[in-house]
Structure 1
Amino acid sequence: MDALLKGEQAVLGAVLLDPDQLDALTWLRPTDFYRPVHQALFSSMRTLDDAKRPAREADGGVPLSWLTDTVADAGRHVRGLSTSYAHTLIAACPRPQHAPVYGRMVLEGSIHRTVTEHAVRLEHAARIDAEQHQVDGVLHHADVLVGVLGDLARRWGTEPRPTPPPAATGTAKPSPVGPERSEDERFLLAVLVHQPGAMAEVYDWLRPGDFADTGHGQIYRCLGALHHRGEPIDEVTALWEIQRRGLLAAGTLSHEHLYSLFAGPGAGSAEWLGDQLIRSSVARTAAVAATAIQALGDDETLTPGRLIGQALNALGPLDEVRARWNRSVRSPQKPAPDADGAARVTAALARSPAPTPRSSTAPSHPEAAAGLPSRNRAAAATTLPARSFP
């Protein structure tokens, strides 16, 4: 027996038995119902009630026209609806005065479905952006999800506040690292090791957790420690720091892995490679958060308040990575070359001062008329008169 289905039937049956119950259900929307036929019936009830609420009969009962008109109006939007199903709804309602409680059951089910649907969209956008090295789509869907959670919290009567889970539960595992992504990370680490000063370009906004490969993140942590202490970074110092932290002894890294990394060319822009890496980190973090939120939405034991709070808490790591990506975007970038030579010439002429018009008067010094260089003309203008000798 589906409790949510019984709740939807009960609230509709309560309104069919007592249209005045609509006054206590102003916060309930047709889209909160799961079944399309229930959405159509509740929407028709709203429409007919706004037009003219049926007057009660002399004995206080509800006229039969209320039921038949509701079914007829809803039948224009869904197929297969008959008057017999309306009687089924009436039989499913134990007490019409309990309609607000039944409505809360419907709203609770709607909140779980809505959170799950938007989490699925976020995960889909994250996987697309990860393939295209973009973040606009995933950040848009993340903002939409935050807005939806805030709206649902207000409808439920709670504050949209991040709430950590009561106990340490299993977190969603990130997707496996593809060979292309792993190669990009190795290329960035080679640049950081072989190019002096490259670490300074990414140190402020790139973190070890942005690396999909755990071993690569540990190497970056070692390079960051050298940079933080003001020590030089090269193959020898990096290997010493890695060995000092016990990463080779613990089996986190291998000598073969380090040899392939340190033997790389180390050519390229650390800032550009780091930007590509943090973009992937944004998409990966969003996918992990979306998976966790889907699991929360499928948990029927969570009340809407706890569901919303824990969903906002799951989006916290994405906010942190997003803030660091914004810092990387605002960092100074080299201007892109203009491929249009004519446009460059036009822009240069526009920035140049207007030429000074030539005077029509004769030059004050004969040297100027003779075409002497400018500094010779200046010297001639300041030369003292010749001294006469006896």
Structure 2
Amino acid sequence: MPPPRDPGQDDHLAPGTVPAPRAVFHAEQALLGALLLEPHRRDTLTNVTADSFSTVEHTAVFAAITTLPAPVPDTHATDTTWINQVLATAREQARALTVPYLHSLIQVCPWPQHAPAYARMVEAEHARRRLRASAAYLLHSVHDISLPHPVHTVLAEADTLAAVVDDIATRFPPRAGLLPRTPLPPPGPTPDHGEAVQEEEQALLATAAARPADIGSTRWLLPGDFAQPLHAGLWQCLIALDRRGEPVDPVTVLWEAQQYGLLDDGSAPDKILRLLAQPTPSSEHWGERILRRSLLATASDAARRITAYADDPANTPSQLVVGARRALADLGAIQTRWQHATSAVPPQRPRPAPAPRAGPPTTTAAHATHTPR
């Protein structure tokens, strides 16, 4: 029978082109062939399950091998009864299976005694698929406009993703220096970027300039949370003036903006003054909305980074663990600020004890800031 469809194959090939199976497909065949030839070797496999395989056919064959009573070795060497039983059981889940395909599995297995090595390969690829799927759920939750409480759902999905990473780490402990070398994906679409975002940021800046006492209550908001670089720079100016205890009003903010080089791009002073001239009653309200959008954008970025790592076959499971943890660390940092802003600490899902990590992950999100000249 033709090899079952590998979900990792290219879906964009020309019509009529038969895609080549990925490396894990051959590892799965070798493992199944080893177990069909020497069924007693299944007792040496501890972390591989039927779900570890990438095709329905291979899943069904492995499930049959591990559930049927093992044959007597001497009898099995000269009798195909047990293999026929495996086929009959597996065909309940994969009717396309045939006797010739099971025999081909035996033929393509180089050395049955290498079954643990083949199993490790299968397990590694399964870890990659689990990570990719969990990242996809996180990304979907970020952009699901039907969610009544998107932040709560996104953080719950992030906890689930972190638990998957921790579980992979228990089987593939990360080692120092094993960072993914996959290029980071370009910025993707960010939720809620539009005219309303501009208005929210301007409302916060104007309110903070009119009521400097409110700045201290929104210290959890960072320049990197703003969508517009000019707005991020103005927020940094407001924070700097407040920390130095200097007067804060539209004119002093404008002067500080000049020191930070915010006028170098051609921004007119009167434009900034107009931007700061329409305060609203509450800074915290607009600050929370800006932080909410920043949290969702950070979650989207983390999911896309992890997906890029998982899509790169050159990354080992250990590298995937390191890369995923670093991506999630940025989300964890902004989650802490969100909890401080809203005084809400959502319940944490139980997670397994983490494996040793490869150096300290980043603990704060990167923020584009200017320094006074």
Alpha-carbon spacing, 1:100–1:290, altered in 2? closer, same or farther (3 Å): same
| TM-fit CA distance, 1:166 | 6.7
1:13 aligns with 2:13: no
1:294 aligns to what?
307
1:173 aligns with 2:190: no
SS at match of 1:27: coil
1:223 aligns to what?
238
Q: In the aligned structure 2, how far is the partner of 1:119 from the partner of 1:25?
A: 28
1:79-106 CA-partner distances (Å, limit 9, x unpaired) = 2112121112111211111111111111
Identity %: 36
TM-score calculated relative to the size of structure 2: 0.80
What aligned pairs does 1:39-118 form with structure 2 within 5 A after superposition?
Answer: 39-48=59-68, 52-57=69-74, 61=77, 63-118=79-134
Does the CA contact (< 8 Å) of 2:28 and 2:58 recur in 1? yes
SS at match of 1:315: helix
1:255-305 CA-partner distances (Å, limit 9, x unpaired) = 4641441232x1131111111111111111000011111110011111111
- Give the aligned CA root-mean-square deviation in angstroms: 2.3
| Matched pairs, number | 322
List alignment gaps of at least 5 residues for structure 1.
332-390
The residue type equivalent to 1:112 in the other structure is R
The residue type equivalent to 1:23 in the other structure is D
Q: In the aligned structure 1, how far is the partner of 2:124 from the partner of 2:182?
A: 25
The residue type equivalent to 1:290 in the other structure is A
1:316 aligns with 2:332: no
1:267 aligns with 2:280: yes
2:272 aligns to what?
258
Q: 2:342 aligns with which of 329, 340, 345?
A: 329
What aligned pairs does 1:165-244 form with structure 2 within 5 A after superposition?
Answer: 165=179, 169-170=183-184, 172-175=186-189, 177-203=193-219, 205-244=220-259
TM-score calculated relative to the size of structure 1: 0.77
The residue type equivalent to 1:229 in the other structure is R
2:15 aligns to what?
none
Q: In the aligned structure 1, how far is the partner of 2:46 from the partner of 2:82?
A: 19
Higher-Rg member (1/2)? 1
1:143 aligns with 2:159: yes
Alpha-carbon spacing, 1:254–1:113, altered in 2? closer, same or farther (3 Å): farther
1:5-53 CA-partner distances (Å, limit 9, x unpaired) = 11111100110000011012121111110001111111111111xxx22
Does the CA contact (< 8 Å) of 1:129 and 1:137 recur in 2? no
List alignment gaps of at least 5 residues for structure 2.
1-19, 345-373
SS at match of 2:213: coil
Alpha-carbon spacing, 1:254–1:322, altered in 2? closer, same or farther (3 Å): farther
The residue type equivalent to 1:246 in the other structure is G
Does the CA contact (< 8 Å) of 2:139 and 2:300 recur in 1? yes
Does the CA contact (< 8 Å) of 1:208 and 1:218 recur in 2? yes
2:364 aligns to what?
none
Q: In the aligned structure 2, how far is the partner of 1:166 from the partner of 1:39?
A: 30
Q: In the aligned structure 1, how far is the partner of 2:258 from the partner of 2:148?
A: 36
Q: In the aligned structure 2, how far is the partner of 1:219 from the partner of 1:131?
A: 32
1:235-263 CA-partner distances (Å, limit 9, x unpaired) = 11110110111210245x44464144123
